[in-house]
Each structure stands twice: as C-alpha cells, then as structure tokens.
Structure 1
Amino acid sequence: MKKIIIFFIFICAFHCPILAQIIQVQVLSEKNQPLPYSQVYQKKSGLSVLTDVNGMADISQFDKNESLEIRQLGYNKKKISFTELAALNFKVVLILADQMMNELVVSGNRWEQQSKEIPAKIESIKAAEINFQNPQTAADLLQLANHVYIQKSQMGGGSPMIRGFATNRLLLVVDGVRMNNAIFRSGNIQNVISIDAQNIEETEVLFGPGSVLYGSDAIGGVMDFHTLSPHFNEEFKVEGLVNTRFSSANQEKSGHADVQLSWKKWASISSFSYSNYSDLKMGKNGPQEYLRDSFQTTLNGIDTTLINPEPELQKRTAYSQFNMMQKIAYQPNKSNTIQYAFHYGKSSDIPRYDRLTEKSNDQYKNAEWYYGPQIWQMQQLKWTLTDTTQLYDHLKLNLSYQYFEESRNDRRYQSNILRNRTERVNAYTATIDFDKKLSKKTDLFYGAEYWLNKVNSKGIEKNINNENSSPIQSRYPNNSIMDSYGLYTLLKWKISPKLITNTALRFSHFRIDAPLNSDFFNFPIERAELSKGALNGSIGAVYLPLPTVKLYSNLSTGFRAPNIDDVGKVFDSEPGIVIVPNADLAPEYAYSADLGTTFSIQNQLKFDVSIFYTYLNNALARRDFHLNGEDSIMYDGTLSKVEAIQNIGFAEVYGVQVSAVWNLNPFKISGAYNWQQGIETDDNELTNVPLRHVPPSYGNAHVTYSNNGFKFDLYTLFNGEISFAQLAPSERNKAYIYATDDRGNPYSPSWITLNLKSEYRWKNGLSAQFGVENITNKLYRPYSSGISAVGRNFIIGMNWSF
C-alpha cells in the first residue's frame, strides 16, 4: 500500500505541474497590435513579468485574488482583476497616455506620425468603435466620425459631406490608393458602399484641403480607409472572426467571416461578407409628405399604381451586396515587406428611390429607375522598405489596378422602352513615397504619383415587349482617357520641442482626351481635350505650450481638375434639364485657413475646437448653356433645358467644429457640434445663392458605460433646419424629396433621435450585441436625402473571435 501511495505521489510531482492550467495575458494597442515589453505587475505578491514580442505574458503563478497592473511607456497604466481579464478573454488594450495628442495617423503626410505634430484636424475611427457600433455600410461607418454628414438618395447609397463639400470635391482613399475616378460626378455618389465596413481596421478623416499630398479632388477633405492587414508571428498561428447581424427596420441579414494565418515570414488574411436588405421602414412621427402612400408595379405587363397598406414601408428600396478580400504578405526581414491585396465588391440592382417617388399630375413619372450592379475590384502590390541611405530612410511603392462598373436603367411609367447606360472604368495608379530624417529637428517627405483612367460608356434602349434594342446617346464619351502625374514634397521642422512647422508643395498635371459621338447630337467639336497643370502648397504650425495642449494653424490650397464627367457628360441630371459637354474648363482652386486647439485636463476632460474658412475660385458648377445656339433640346423624348459644367465664379464656406470627451471611468460622456455656412457667387449674374452641399447644424451626444466585458452607449443625433430661403436653387427644384412649410415651399425640418447600443463579451471570444435605433420612431430625412431614415430599428448581432 505504501508503495502505491509513494508511486502516486511520484506521478503527481512530475505531472501535476504539466497538467496545471497555463494562463496567458496579451497586451495590445488600440490598433490591435501587440505591445512587447509591457510590464505585468502585482504589488502585494511582488510578481512581475514582461510581455514577449507578441504581447504575451504567462501569469499562471500570479495571485488570482489580487489585481494586476499593466504598464507600458507612453500608455495609461491599466489596473484589472482576474475576473475582468477572463471576461475580456485575457486580452487587454492599453490607451495612449494622451490619446488625442499622441495618436498615430497616416493621412497627415502619408507616413505614420503623431497627430500632435500635424497642423490639421484629423479624426480617427478605431476598430473597437467600428466593431461596437456595427454599421451596415461604409457610408454608415463614416457617420461615426463626429464631423461627417451623410446624404442618401436610396438605401444602397451614402454620399459624404465635409465642410460644405461633397462628391468629387472629397477624396476616397483605400489602403493608400485613390478611389476617385474620372467619372466621379458633382451629384451625390454612392461608391463608398463598395468598401466592406466589416473589413475596416481604422478610418482617418483629414479635414480641409489635402491636395498637396493626394492631388486632385481633395478640397473638402480626405477619407482614408485602412483595411484589415495580415501580421507576422514567430510561430504558426490561426486567428479569425465570424459575425452575424439582423436589423428589424429593413429585415437585414448579414454575415461576415475572416481568417488570418501567420508565420514568421509569411502572413495571409481572407475575408467574406454578404448582406441582404428588404424594403426600409421609416418612422411614424414626422412630416406626412415622406410617407409612401402608393407605389408602382407591373402586373400582367401593365404598369399599375397600388395603395401601400404600410405607408411607412418604403417600397422598392431592397438590395443586397457581397464583398471579399484576400491579402498575402511576405517579410524576408524586418526592414522589407511585400504585400499583395485583392478586393471585390458587388451589389445587386439598387432602386433609385427618389426617382421612383417623383410624380407629375398625380401620376408616377417612372415605372423603373435603378442602378445596375455596382462592381468594384482592386488589385494592389505594395512594397515597404526601411534602409537608411542618402536619399531615404523609408520607401513605400504602391501599384494598383481598379475596375469600376455601374449602370443607370430607367423606364417611363406606362412606356415599353427601357433605357440602359453602362460605364466601365479601368484605373491604374502608381505612387512612391519617401521619408528622410535630415537632422534631429528636420524630416523630409516626398514622392510622386501617376494615374490613368480609361472610360468605356454605352447607351442602349430596349423594347421590353419584343426585346428589340437600339443604341442611344451614352452618358460619357466612349473610349475616353484621363491621366495625371504629380510630384510633392513636405518638410517638417521642429524649431523647438514646443514649435513645429510643416511646409509642403505639389505640382500636378492632368490631361483629358474624350472623343464625342455626334450620331445623336451635332456637337460643335469632335473631341473634348484638356491639358493643364496645377501648383498648390500649404504652410502650417503647431505650438505645444504644455504636454496636454496643442494649438495649430494652417494655410493651404487645394484644387480639382475637371474630369470626364465635367467635360463630356450628356445626361438629364433632373427632369427637364440635360447636361451637355463643355471642354472650355479650368481647374477650381481652394484657399483654406484653419485655426484649432486640442487640449486635455488630467487625462479626463478633452476638448477639440476647429475654425475654418475656404474660398473656392473658378468654382465648377452647372449653369445655363447653349448647344448650337439652342437653349433647349429633345433628350430621351423630353424637351429639356440645356446646361453645362462651367467655371462660374467663386464659393465661400466657413464654420466651426467642436467635440468634447469626459472620462469618468467606467462612464464616458462625449459630444460634437458642427455649424457651417456657404454661398456660391456667379461672376456673370453677380448673385449669391446657398451652396448645395452645406448641411444644417448637426451633432451628437453620448453617454457610454464600459466594465467587466459589458458596454452600452445611449446617444442622440440631432440636425437643424434648412428653410426654403436657405436651400440651394437645385434643391428647390426637387420639392418631392422635401417636407412642405406653411407657405407651401420645400424645406428640410430639424430632427433629433434617441438610440441605444450595447454589447457583452464572454471570455471565450464570444460577444453579443443589441441595439435600438430611433427609439422614439421619429420620421425624418437628413438634408438633401431622397429617402427617409430608418424608423425604430432593433439590431441583434453575434460575434466570435478565435
């Protein structure tokens, strides 16, 4: 018996330590990057350990009844119990010591720099906030930024407005590649929804002109999307995420999965997303003009108007979307990384809701009006090199190819002719960026860019009864080309630890060659050709009187080169008006001034205030025009007034952006407010009119609670009124999308919503989300939108990370 007991003790002595549970904690940054050499410490027990290169530390021997302290230079100290650690799946995220001052951003100068050294307003939307808010589309994601306004003409849309500018005066960037192409129009666009919101690791919004670094179009701002990237690991590792979401207001059914494989020198990430949306239900309490009392449909081959039994249900808004992404990275050594990426996004047909609600003499004008499948594909090869030479310390080469396809399809009510206009754009881009530390106080950034767009455009009309088809005028000149090259340089000089200046200069040249088709219209020229250069620059300063205070000012210029949409488009922008080509155009220039401050008090109370003014010279806008001496022509069977894009004069926009955060752990109170005004002046008419893309005052207020794996956010969104007198002339002509004031004129009413989002995370990587949007069931439309916003909407989501 004694021998058996001794043998049992012998076995336990050798095997029990092996069988004991090993507990590891991982310390991460807010960008979900491992933080090596972080100290994990217990004061009473005296135990201490450092994290490895993957941010991992073994805490098996630590006292489970005593809290841990986790420290890392430059980050806030974190005190956490074992219970809280378990709820977080033993992953701890450290916050920068002063998040608003030390945040790392890329959009400021194309290289990662501390935001406190950049004399511009930049706002980041982090992965943690994106995952918590769980937006349906990338357009909805942008609304998480405090100072971006989103307009929608249909559910499958989303056109950002920043500082009074929109569409082709804002630049979309995905992983360093410009998404804007030669047919980005001045009307509202929805290209941003091609980007998968589930793939976004972080989004940065640069406010004000970014043309020095990014070239044409970056007048009002730059929206820089950073998608999920593979990371390397000393040993083979598999990680991933699976999530699903359901929303009641549009019966949304969405699913997403991504898998990451990591080795020492190779890494890969694969991602797939699919979303299906039924017709969107609006709220009940608001302007009755927004209700969908009836809708058109085709029964037995005959267009018919039916009564809508649910007037809040916005019939014919449903659509679906699929996205995928694949990235493969190779790192032969720590200073050399090569990455290939493939992105693909495709929607179903997307009904244009505002055109489907338009009536004439109480009868619908259109039986059908929809965008065909919107396709976006991008292939990218990126090479990053760290090697101290006389010319650079870091080099980044970015080569990409993008394919865009979109179409517009419309058929008049009780007509058998369906018109289809399809556009395809092949876009090639090459950029190379360098940075070089010239001295302890001076950094030089410089680079070059070239891009080429080839546009194919076709127009066909088809008889839906006999399937006979014939060509019609295409929207754009077929086989047209636009290209551009640019050279830029930026010098950052730290005059002292408290004073930093940034000076930048860029030269760009662009060219357009668009052959015009005179089969349908007798154009006075055979080709629309342009070849012009643009020079712009900026100078800014940052003053840091205290570690927690930043004062900055910036003077900058931006420009937008006329593109093929401006020069060669033929299209009815609105009923009874047709846009025709005009090659006599020059770039529009923006002159902007920014003044702002960011400061914090004891790392708890943080303020951000920015005042801006922008003067847009040679502004491009639609104005009355003559084609062969005629002010009106027949277009698609309708006598239409002729207009063209012209350099009309100038525009002015000015305003203030304010945001604040008050950390009262575990509570956080935050809010933002935006006010802006804008006018457009015509040199010929000498008249001032409201600028189209200046939204009303708007903002938000949040109360957030976060503790022990549980988080909730009770928040409100609010929007001021735009009266009839404040509406731009082009908006007054679209009375069918607006409410009606006491005098019978269209206007955009003010509104406010109450919303709730919540989440609970278990220690096994599983989390559940629940939310209610528009709790009061408010019936409203954001300014200039042709579709009403979501009514009371219940959201349920499940996530599993492994």
Structure 2
Amino acid sequence: MALALLLGSGLWLGLAQVAARDSTTLTGYVRNVAGVPVANARLTLLTARQSVVATALSDTDGRYLFDDIQPGAYELVAATADGLGVRLAVALAAGVPTQRDLVVVTTSVAETVTVTADVGLVQDKDELGQTVTVIPVGRLRERATQGLAEAFAEEAGLSVQQTSPTLGGVFVRGLVASRVSVFVDGVRYTTSAQRGGISTFFNLLEPSGLRGAEVLHGPHGAQYGSDSLGGSIQLLTATAPLTATGFEFRGESSFFGTSATAGFGNATRLAFGTTRVGAVVNVAGRRINTLRAGGGRDSRAAVTRFFDLPSNRFYGERQPDTAFTEYAGSLKAVATPASGHQFVFHYQRGQQDGGKRSDQLLGGDGNLIARLGNLMLDFGYVRYDGQRIGWFDSVTVTGSFNIQREERINQGGQGNPQALIGSQYERTRTGGVSLFGSKVVGRHTLLGGADVYRDVMRGRAFDVNPTTGVAVAARPRVPTGAYVNNYGFFVQDVWEALPNRLRLSASLRYGVASYRARARDNAPVGGRAVVEDDAVRTAAWTFRLSGAWQLGRGFVLAGNVARGFRPPNMTDLGSLGLQGNGVYEVAAPAVAGRNAFIGTTADATAVSTGLPVRQVIPESSLSYEGSLRYRNGRLDADVTGFVTNINDLLTTQTLILPLGAVGTRLGTEIITAQLPTGAVFVAPAVSPVRIRANFTDARIVGIESSLGVKLTPSWSLSGNFTWLHAEDRATGQPPDVEGGTPPPQGLLRLRYQPPGSAWWVEGVAAAAHRQTRLSSLNLDDRRIGATRTRTQIQNFFRRGATVRGLVEAGPDGRFGTADDRLRLTGETLAQIQNRVLGTATSAPLFPVLPGWMTLNLRGGYRFGERQDLTVAVDNLLDQNYRTISSGVDAPGRNLTIRYTVRF
C-alpha cells in the first residue's frame, strides 16, 4: 500500500511538473456599471468542457490575478455576492501576460460567449462562421416555469413545441425532435429510441440545474454526430466551485407561482468548495395544475373539433387533463488532485407524475384514457480533463450513462369504453464513451477524437379487456432487445489565418450506426411471432467548413457549409403499433412479401405512388449559410440567410395494400376495413395505417435576424425576426415533415434599466404570421389541422360524448339511436355532421395555422445583496393561440412571480 501511494504521489508530481511548462498569467479589474471597483468578486477560469482550471478573488481595488495558467482558450466568469456577473472568452498565449477587465451587471439579457460551437474551444460568437444562440441563466429562469422547452422561446431561428403539458421540444430552423440533437455538458442525451414528432424526455432536464444553454443552428454532425439536421441544443450544467483559499459554502433558493396554470414550485442549490474539491447539489419540484388558455378556450378540444362548439361551454375555462407534478435533483462534484488535472462526476434524476396526453383526451381525440406513467430519467457521467498530456495540450475522456423510462396507457376509439386498454412500458439504457485531445500548432488549434454510444431497448406491452379485466400480451412499440451502436471518429482544425481578422474552421467525421432486433428476444403474442429478425448498418462522412472575416469598423462577414446525417433509428426501423399521434404505424419488415406500396399522402385520400415499401435508409442534408454582423458598442445587428437541402426525407405515408386485406393481420391487429384505393384500417385508430418511408427530398430556406440598440444608458431596444419556407423539391408543395414548419415570427423588446439601479422593467411584443403551407400530414394531425370526418364525429358522439354525459338518449331511453341528441344544443348526430361538414366527408378544423400577437410586461427588483424579485404579466390581451405542432394552447393572461434568496 505504501509503495502504491508513493508511486501515485510521484505520478501526480510528474504530471504537475509537465503541466507547469510554458505557463502564462491573466489579470485585470472587476468593476460595476458605474465604474466602481468590486471587491471579493469570485472569478473562475473554465475550459470549454466546463472544468474549473483556477479560481481567484478580487481585492479591494477590484484587481484579480490568475498565475501559472496553461495557454489555451478559456471562459472567464465573474460573480458577486449580490447576484451580479459576467462571462468572457479569453485566449492565453504561452509567456504572454494577458489583461482583461470585467464589468459585472444584473440579470444578463444577452451573451456572446460560446463553448460548444467548435469542440474544445471557448469563443466569441463573432469569431464563428455559423450561427449560435446563447441563452444566459437569467433568461432560463425567467421563462422556464413549466418545463425546459419554454426557455427557448423568443429567440431567432427557434420555436417552441409543446405536445402536452409535460412533453415539449424545440424547433431549430424548421426541424424538431429526431432532427435536433441534444447534449448535456458535451454528452449525448439524444437516444436512437426517440420518437419522430415529440421530445418525450426533453422536459425531464431541470432548467434550475443549468448555468446556460446554447443552440447551434444547422447541421453539426461533423462535431456532434448524427441527428443534427436542424441543429443541436447544448445544455451546460451548474459548475461545482473551487476556491482560491480555504472553504466556501453558498446556496440559493428560488420560489415561483403562475396564475395561468395555478402552478408553483421551488428550486434550491447548495454548493461548497475547497482548493481541491467542490460540489453542487440542486433539488427542484413543481406542481402544474390545470391550464387556462387564452380566452378560457381550448381551440382544438374534442367538442370544438367534432361539434364546432366552444370548449368552455362544456367544462369551463380550465382545461382538464393538463395537471402534473415534477421532481428533479442533481449532484456535480469535482476533484483536482494536481494542477492541470481534474475529475468531474455528474448525476441527475428527473421524474414526472400524473401527466396525460390531453390532446388525445377531451383536448383532441375525445378518448377516455391517455396516461403518461413512470416518466423517469437517470443521467450521469464521469470525466477526466488533463492539460499537457504527452504531445497534447489537453485531453478529455468521458464515460456516461443515460436511462430513460416511460409507460403509456391508452384506450382508443374516441371514447369507446369497450376498447382494449393498451399499456406500453419502455426503458432505453445508453452507455457512452468519448475522448478527444487538442494541440495548438502555430495559428492552428487541432483536435481529434472519437465517441461511441450503445442504446438498448427493453419493452413490454399488454392489452386489458375493460369488460372482463383479462390482460393479454401485445407487441411492444419497438422490439424488446433492439439495440443501436452509434460511433464515430472526428478531426477539427481552427485556423487564425489572419490574426484578429480571419478565422477559418474545418471539421470532418466518419460516423457509423448499426441496428439489430431479434425475434428470439420477443415472446410470441397469441402463439404468433410478431417481431422479425432485422439488422441494418449505415455509415457516412460529414463535414463542416466555416469562416468569419472581420471587415473592420464593426462589420463581420461569415459563412458556413455543412453536411448532416441521420441514420434511421429504432422508431424508424422497428416501430409497430399505435403511436402518440393516434396513428397505427408499421415498419417495412412487417409488410415484407405483401406487395405493399407507399401512398401519395398521409391521410385517407392517398392512392398508390407505385413505389414499393422498402427498408428505410438514412437522411442526409447539405446546408449553406451566410451572415453579415455589425457591432459598435451601441448597436448589435446581424442577418443570416440559409438553405438546407434534405435528401431521402423520412416521413410517414399511408400504407397501400392489395385489395382483399381485410381480416389479415398487421402485427397483433386485424385489418378491419379497406378503401378501394388500398388504404387499410385497424381498430385502435381512426386514420389509415401508415408506413415509414424515404418518400421525397425537401428544401428549407430561411432568414434569421436580430437587432439590439443601446438608446441611452438606461433604455435599450432589441428584437428578432425569423422567416422559413419549406418545400418538397419535386412538387414545390409543403413537405410531409413531422411537426410542420413554423410560420414567420418576430419579437420586439423595450427595456429600462438605469445604471447601477436595483430594478429593471421591459415590455415585449411577440407575434407570428399565420402558416398557410400545411402538408397532408400536418392537416391530419390533431395538433395542427385537426381533420374531422363523418365517421370520427359519429364515433365521438356515440362514445366519448355519450360516456361523459354530453348526449341524452332519444324518447325510448336507449342510446345509439338516430334520436339521440346533444344536450347543449338539442341536435341529432346527423344534424351535427351536416352543420360541421356540410356535404363533405372530411375537412380540417384549421386549414391554416392562425397567426397571433401577444403583449407582455416584465420587471425585477433586487433587495440588497441577497434577494431578488421578478414579476411578469404575459399575454396581456388574453390571446388564444398555439405554436405549431403543439397539443395544448399557450397560456392565457398569466401572472408569474419569482422570489430568489441567496445565502
């Protein structure tokens, strides 16, 4: 044991001596906006991977000093006891002392430092060829009360999607969910089991545990692997502190309440640090009660969709099935056994209880049961960061795990109390390892590395007969035992071609994804095998080339070309059964040998394209963007134009089978009906069965712009605007991209914040134009177009509405006759069908997505050094609206109060 300790001590001493070579210093002064020196400000120097390199305190003159620092790119953070702070990107050269002065401010409304755009580097956004949105911690806290997705609202190029009160996601450049990858501290959070149109586990990431978020616009497969056709979301967790001397303990507790959801919650963070060891613990909980949308109405409620009657005439102003409870906790610890060497451990847990898919219940389809149970997350990693390791300036090695669990309990048939109650339990377990090393050679910063992730699905399913109570096994949505190995190798070069004038960046990656499902891992259902052996391997090269040219006088010209790659995931390859959008879906192996074809649309109007159903292949994209930026201290402005071409777009289309398919099986379901066109139906769904297929190619063209003006020392004006146009490259029509395309939208913010004052106030106007370009997939989606047919109206009238007491029986007292009437209006079924549809057999409730505009007023006050209060009144005009692909309307007039105390 003594020998081991001696050898270990010698090893760390040797590493420390190696790391001490070619060091440099960083110094400067910390002041407030009035120019007064700030004493005892905590300064932290971080790597791009958020490892703490060194800490310092400012003296009575506001001066700080970091000595014996290795050259490289770092993030410099200053924070004071009263909540002021600032972030800067600093580049340190060997043997060259650097001075950077800092001005600490109150809640940051905009930041320019990015640590994720180029792997392993800390940079200012103006140094980049691609577009990056940086969301500071202040904005995260202001916006995210119900879930993390809310934090990304009001940003250029982004749009928030909320499938249900619990489930949310973020559009990036017109794409959402499976085409936007998510990373936590550089660790892949996205799994290959994710669904196509929703982000089931995104809101399980607790916003109070973050210190910021970044969104990389456009494909970033060369750095971060597959799935980032639209972009990637990078979440940065709170940093565990280290101190310059001694022991430090600090904490923060924040309470909030909102009126639109009658919600409330708390988040508490505790942190301690010494010179070698630090830890931060975050615990949070929230209760979100029933939602009151604008005007007290649910725009796509079942009674509105099928009966054309306002929802508040049936169940008041608050929407049923929209309440839930959420808990979360995290621990992050760091240890620095020797200078330049650090170990980081991070673990977080999230859980949602009581959630429901309200868009499948009275908020959409009219079903009786649509529960989300056991929605849980366990995520963590262990990381080593070292400097001056052999030839490398820095080396990072990370091992990670990610366990995501859910259970969905559904009863279809639009309120049919006799329909089978299906239960689907899924657990995806992911293990990952990544490593990379970097080296500065002249004006080049070189980086190379590799990563591998393995996703394994475990699922079980059963159906319960509500009459007999008998449960029988069913096929899981994705075969149990299915797995995907996702790995790749990448290199990166950032070149200061002309120091302080022209920076170029290039990245290249070779990525591989392999899928396998085996029949033997899945028990037969009803004596029949319902899973086929299947194996798919795909590989691709992806790249990114970008540059930023400082033209002088504050102008920057930037450009970026990137190729993205998305291999088909478990959902694409193995999905079979009723999906979250109410559609019964099958994959290619389920119809092998049945002469199946792809339909022209995603609804009942489809006819055969003549294209046979084949196993799906990867999607790829090629994106071009150019930006012009201007900064002069008082005016910040930028405009970016981009074109993204998506090849082999993977979507769902109506399945076409040869006539005579009625009575045969698709998975565990029997085909109950078939149209003359060949479209088929099964009992759990009212829409035709769909097939996943690479149906077409798409193009998205867009403009993203933002503006910030310092009008006076106290007044500032800012805003942004985003315009997108998506089309099928063969027809010019809206492409069948799941989720649709967000409409043109913008924002204008006027803020008053006197220098050095304890308070601020701002007014915000946000608006979106109506979206007229909706595909057949969008129009059929209950969350967007909400198509209704005569059969669907009949089903809800006879089933969901009758069970809930909205229908009274005819004179003979028996339900199910032509004399049954809707209690509120006295109409018969036939009268309702004719009033809603006229002579048509079907029509969408919304042929276009309506536009909207909101006015919002927000402000904050700081009580001394330890307490903050923020108050917001959003949607002052009580507008009723919803963002595209959302399953619930946005909150109506809403008062939010947040109180924070630091100790």
Give TM-score scaled by structure 1 length.
0.84
Q: 1:94: how far off?
A: 7.3
Asked whether the 8 Å contact 2:555–2:631 carries over to 1, the reply is: yes
Asked whether the 8 Å contact 2:718–2:750 carries over to 1, the reply is: yes
Change (3 A) 1:221 1:332: same
Q: Output the CA distance in 1 between the equivalents of 2:32 and 2:163.
A: 55
Q: Output the CA distance in 1 between the equivalents of 2:111 and 2:152.
A: 22
Partner of residue 386, structure 1? 387
Change (3 A) 1:110 1:55: closer
Q: Output the CA distance in 1 between the equivalents of 2:645 and 2:35.
A: 62
Partner of residue 506, structure 1? 509
Q: 1:212: how far off?
A: 0.3
**Residue number among 689, 693, 703 corresponding to 2:734 in the alignment:** 689
Instruction: Give matches, 1:328-367, under 5 Å.
Output: 328-357=333-362, 365-367=366-368
Please report the RMSD computed on the Cα atoms of aligned residues, expressed in angstroms.
3.6
Q: Output the CA distance in 2 between the equivalents of 1:95 and 1:710.
A: 24
Q: Output the CA distance in 1 between the equivalents of 2:173 and 2:511.
A: 24
Q: Output the CA distance in 1 between the equivalents of 2:355 and 2:40.
A: 53
1:682-712 per-residue CA deviation (whole Å, 9 max, x = no partner) reads 6xxx674345431100121111122311122
Asked whether the 8 Å contact 2:354–2:373 carries over to 1, the reply is: yes
1:451 aligns with 2:457: no
Q: Output the CA distance in 2 between the equivalents of 1:90 and 1:283.
A: 35
Q: Output the CA distance in 2 between the equivalents of 1:427 and 1:111.
A: 27
Instruction: Give matches, 1:24-173, under 5 Å.
Output: 37-38=28-29, 56-57=57-58, 59=60, 89=82, 91=84, 93=86, 103-133=113-143, 135-173=145-183
**Residue number among 712, 716, 719 corresponding to 2:768 in the alignment:** 719
1:275 aligns with 2:291: no
1:579 aligns with 2:610: no
Instruction: Give matches, 1:138-217, under 5 Å.
Output: 138-217=148-227
Change (3 A) 1:426 1:576: closer
Asked whether the 8 Å contact 2:741–2:884 carries over to 1, the reply is: no
Asked whether the 8 Å contact 1:267–1:328 carries over to 2, the reply is: yes
1:337-380 per-residue CA deviation (whole Å, 9 max, x = no partner) reads 10111110000132111111377xxxx64111122231111121
Partner of residue 48, structure 2? none
Asked whether the 8 Å contact 1:41–1:70 carries over to 2, the reply is: no
Q: Output the CA distance in 1 between the equivalents of 2:622 and 2:503.
A: 22
Partner of residue 786, structure 1? 887
Change (3 A) 1:672 1:42: closer
Q: Which has the higher strand share?
A: 1
Partner of residue 29, structure 1? none
Q: 1:641: how far off?
A: 3.3
Partner of residue 248, structure 1? 259
Q: 1:38: how far off?
A: 1.5
Partner of residue 543, structure 2? 537
Q: 1:521: how far off?
A: 11
- The residue identity in structure 1 corresponding to 2:734 is V
Percent identical among aligned pairs is 19
Partner of residue 769, structure 1? 870
Asked whether the 8 Å contact 1:212–1:505 carries over to 2, the reply is: yes
Q: Output the CA distance in 1 between the equivalents of 2:129 and 2:32.
A: 38
Asked whether the 8 Å contact 1:124–1:205 carries over to 2, the reply is: yes
Q: 1:241: how far off?
A: 0.6
- The residue identity in structure 1 corresponding to 2:870 is Q
Q: 1:192: how far off?
A: 1.2
Partner of residue 607, structure 1? 637
Asked whether the 8 Å contact 1:120–1:554 carries over to 2, the reply is: yes
Partner of residue 798, structure 1? 899
SS at 2:689 equivalent: strand
Q: 1:606: how far off?
A: 0.4
**Residue number among 417, 432, 443 corresponding to 1:415 in the alignment:** 417
SS at 2:294 equivalent: coil
1:572-607 per-residue CA deviation (whole Å, 9 max, x = no partner) reads 345564333447222111001010122112x01100
Partner of residue 727, structure 2? 679
Change (3 A) 1:700 1:442: same
Asked whether the 8 Å contact 2:143–2:150 carries over to 1, the reply is: no
**Residue number among 700, 714, 736 corresponding to 1:666 in the alignment:** 714
Change (3 A) 1:358 1:228: closer
Change (3 A) 1:778 1:43: closer
Unmatched runs of 5 consecutive residues or more in structure 1: 1-34, 63-67, 76-84, 297-305
Q: 1:37: how far off?
A: 3.9
Q: How many residues align?
A: 729
Q: 1:796: how far off?
A: 1.3
Q: After the TM superposition, which of the residue ranges 189-198 and 581-590 deviates more from structure 2?
A: 581-590
Q: 1:569: how far off?
A: 0.1
- The residue identity in structure 2 corresponding to 1:774 is N
Q: Output the CA distance in 1 between the equivalents of 2:83 and 2:460.
A: 57
Q: Output the CA distance in 2 between the equivalents of 1:182 and 1:244.
A: 36
Q: 1:131: how far off?
A: 3.3
Asked whether the 8 Å contact 2:298–2:889 carries over to 1, the reply is: no
Q: Output the CA distance in 1 between the equivalents of 2:786 and 2:478.
A: 34
Asked whether the 8 Å contact 1:678–1:691 carries over to 2, the reply is: no
- The residue identity in structure 1 corresponding to 2:406 is E
Partner of residue 488, structure 1? 490
Q: Output the CA distance in 2 between the equivalents of 1:585 and 1:52.
A: 54
Change (3 A) 1:733 1:327: same
Q: Output the CA distance in 1 between the equivalents of 2:234 and 2:853.
A: 29
Q: Output the CA distance in 2 between the equivalents of 1:44 and 1:547.
A: 26
SS at 1:187 equivalent: coil
**Residue number among 625, 628, 637 corresponding to 2:655 in the alignment:** 625
**Residue number among 320, 328, 339 corresponding to 1:323 in the alignment:** 328
Q: Output the CA distance in 2 between the equivalents of 1:791 and 1:600.
A: 37
Unmatched runs of 5 consecutive residues or more in structure 2: 1-25, 44-54, 67-72, 90-101, 590-613, 662-677, 788-835, 838-842
Partner of residue 593, structure 1? 624
Partner of residue 12, structure 1? none
Partner of residue 303, structure 1? none
Asked whether the 8 Å contact 1:770–1:797 carries over to 2, the reply is: yes
Q: 1:170: how far off?
A: 0.4
Q: Output the CA distance in 2 between the equivalents of 1:508 and 1:401.
A: 20
Q: After the TM superposition, which of the residue ranges 569-578 and 533-542 deviates more from structure 2?
A: 569-578
Q: Output the CA distance in 2 between the equivalents of 1:421 and 1:290.
A: 26
Instruction: Give matches, 1:418-433, under 5 Å.
Output: 418-433=421-436
Q: Output the CA distance in 2 between the equivalents of 1:481 and 1:113.
A: 37
Asked whether the 8 Å contact 2:286–2:327 carries over to 1, the reply is: yes
Asked whether the 8 Å contact 1:448–1:488 carries over to 2, the reply is: yes
SS at 1:107 equivalent: coil
Q: Output the CA distance in 2 between the equivalents of 1:668 and 1:58.
A: 32
Q: After the TM superposition, which of the residue ranges 467-476 and 309-318 deviates more from structure 2?
A: 309-318
Asked whether the 8 Å contact 1:457–1:476 carries over to 2, the reply is: yes
Change (3 A) 1:193 1:133: closer
Change (3 A) 1:584 1:268: same
Change (3 A) 1:153 1:357: farther
1:63-120 per-residue CA deviation (whole Å, 9 max, x = no partner) reads xxxxx99999x99xxxxxxxxx99x838564778899896243233343233333210
Partner of residue 99, structure 2? none
- The residue identity in structure 2 corresponding to 1:431 is S
SS at 2:727 equivalent: strand
Give TM-score scaled by structure 2 length.
0.75
Partner of residue 705, structure 1? 752
1:185-244 per-residue CA deviation (whole Å, 9 max, x = no partner) reads 222223210110111101000000000011110111010000111020121000111011
Q: After the TM superposition, which of the residue ranges 139-148 and 166-175 deviates more from structure 2?
A: 139-148
Instruction: Give matches, 1:300-319, under 5 Å.
Output: 311-319=316-324
